[in-house]
Amino acid sequence: MDYIWNITGKCNLQCQYCWDIFKNTAEVDTDQAKSVIDHITEDPCNMLLFTGGEPLIRDDLFDLIHYSKRHGVKYIKICTNGLLISKRIEEIKAAPISEIHISLDSIEDDSNDYRKKNFQVLQNIKVLLQNVDLQKTKIVLVSVIDFHRLYKFESVLKFAKENGIYVTYQLPASIDNHKLSLNIEHIQVEQLNSLFLSLHEYHRQYSKQIDYFANFYLLIAEKYYLEGKIPEQCQAGIGFQIISPIGEYYSCYTCKKRTVSLKECFNSKCLVWFRSNGRSQKLLKMLKTP
């Protein structure tokens, strides 16, 4: 089993497209968190991803990372907005982290960006590159694509190529912020076709930078957005589980309680969590055929 742990609901950014369902919720203390780790490692735990909120806000994050490793977690990952990397660089260097995922949509500071402080994040990434062995710790930049401004995503790809790191991405997930112009599920077919043609070209041109997550994500997103296909069965909770800041377990970010049909609840958020290796292959096989 893989686990995605929203270790905190607190964050030091307010990204306009954020759909974190655990925002500003209560969270377990260090001893309670270690009890959660004890529980999930009773059986083999392949991967534990610490996310949030912003996980680097928690003072005890690296204590929990080391504790997880001692208890047999094979791969430990963190997903961060990057703002606190420099502050905690010595702890990062000493920690058994397999991958660090850093949110970055552009290499420019732009008042129109849906995230902010790109320049500060870039400086922190450079600090990380100077201090981390890339043979031991993989760095992956994670972009949410603004399909109106694809050049911003390409700037992230170019930066990754120059620095020998990786990029994965997602298209905007369904959110309740109606001020955004990112709702991909309602754009015209011609725009969708153009978008996916561009994505295929990026995959070709930057193949060494595209993380394997993104290769599966592209295939699944095309099926979903262009053909309107959804899986016949839900795989949520089978290959991975979500842990809330308070230590509760969920199968799915979309429906905490499975009270609706798959057809009613399947949406763009589902694609994000099905994109990794084995789960994506299962999902692709289950997509409805004509």
Q: How confident is the model at residue 169 (pLDDT cuts 50, 70, 90)?
A: very high
More confident residue, 25 or 67: 67
Strand ordering across the sheet containing 99-103: 166-170, 138-144, 99-103, 75-80, 47-51, 2-6, 240-243, 249-250
Architecture (CATH level 2) of domain 2-286: Alpha-Beta Barrel (3.20)
223-278 per-position pLDDT tens digit: 888 888 888 877 777 778 899 999 999 888 776 655 567 777 787 777 877 666 67
Considering the chain, what is the average pLDDT of its residues? 88
The angle at the Cα of 184, spanning 181 to 185, to the nearest 5 degrees, equals: 125
Residues 6+ apart with CB under 8 A from 271: 170, 171, 217, 220, 221, 224
Mean pLDDT, rounded, for 13-40: 91
Q: State the amino acid at position 190 in one-letter form.
A: E
Q: How confident is the model at residue 38 (pLDDT cuts 50, 70, 90)?
A: very high
53-99 per-position pLDDT tens digit: 999 999 999 999 999 999 999 999 999 999 999 999 999 999 999 99
Mean pLDDT, rounded, for 171-180: 66
What is the torsional sign of CA 199, 80, 156, 152?
A: positive
* pTM for the structure as a whole: 0.92
Give pLDDT, residue 228.
86
263-285 per-position pLDDT tens digit: 777 877 778 776 666 777 777 77
Give pLDDT, residue 166.
97
Q: Kindly list the domain boundaries of the chain, sorted by start residue.
A: 2-286
CA 283 to CA 216: how far, in whole Å?
Answer: 10
